[in-house]
Chain A
C-alpha cells in the first residue's frame, strides 16, 4: 500500500482479554517502530525493529506486551491480560533507512479502550 496501515482502528477489550494490533509498514521500509500515545501526550516509544530483528524493546511497559515482525514486514503488537491503563492509541511508524529515525511515516493508529 501507499502508506502505513494499522488494524484494527478501534478496539474495545474487557479487562483481562488479550489483544493483537497489526501494522503493515510501507513496502521496503527497514525500520519499524511502535509507540503508545495517551491523550494529550506525545508518543512514547515502545519497541524498534530493523527488518525482523527486534533491536530495542526497552519501552514495553511490562511483560504483558510483546511485539514481533517475523518476516521483516508486517508487525504485531500483542497485549496480554489487558488493564485499564493500557487504554491508549498505539501508533506504528516505519522508515526507509535502517539507522536514521529522521522521517518516520506513521499509521493512523489503533485506539484501544480497556473497560
Chain B
C-alpha cells in the first residue's frame, strides 16, 4: 500500500533556529512530491519536486528530493514565529493525475 510518512510528528524550537522536516514515501510509480504549509485550516502550496538533487528555494525555505532513498526534506532557516504551522507532504503517483497521498504532517512550533 502506498504511504507517506513524515517525521517528526511535532517539533518545538526557538526563534532563529534552523529546522529540517522529513518526508519519506513508498509509492508505486512516483510522479512528484509536494509540500504544503497549513496554518489554521487552509494548506498553502510551498514546493513541488519531481527531480532528484535539485533544490527548490523560496526565501528561508528550501526543499530537496532524493528519489533513490525515497525521501524529501524541508529546511527552514532563521525560523520566525510566523513559521509555526503544520507542514504537510504529499506524493502524486504516476498512475493518477490528481489523487495525492498525504502524510500526517509535522506540527512545528516556534517559540519567541
The chain A residues found within 8 Å of chain B, CB to CB, are 4, 31, 33, 40-45, 48, 56, 89, 91, 99-109, 111
Taking CB atoms, residues of chain B closer than 8 Å to A33 are 98
Among B36, B48, B98, chain A packs the most CB atoms within 10 A around the CB of B98
> How many angstroms between the C-alpha atoms of A109 and B88 in the bound complex?
16
In the assembled complex, 5 residue pairs joining A and B whose CB atoms fall closer than 8 Å, in A order, are A43-B102, A101-B97, A102-B92, A109-B41, A111-B41
Residues of A contacting B90 in the complex (Cβ-Cβ under 8 angstroms): 42
User: Is residue B12 within 8 Å, beta carbon to beta carbon, of the partner chain?
Assistant: no
Closest approach, in angstroms, between the C-beta of A41 and any C-beta of chain B?
Answer: 5
Contact A103 B45 (CB under 8 A): yes
Residue contact B40 to A108, C-beta cutoff 8 Å = yes
Is there contact, CB below 8 Å, between A56 and B98? Answer: yes
How far is A102 from B90 in the complex, measured between Cα atoms in Å?
10
User: CA–CA, A108 to B43, complex, Å?
Assistant: 8
Q: Given A40-B104, A42-B103, does the pair A106, B97 have CB atoms closer than 8 Å?
A: no
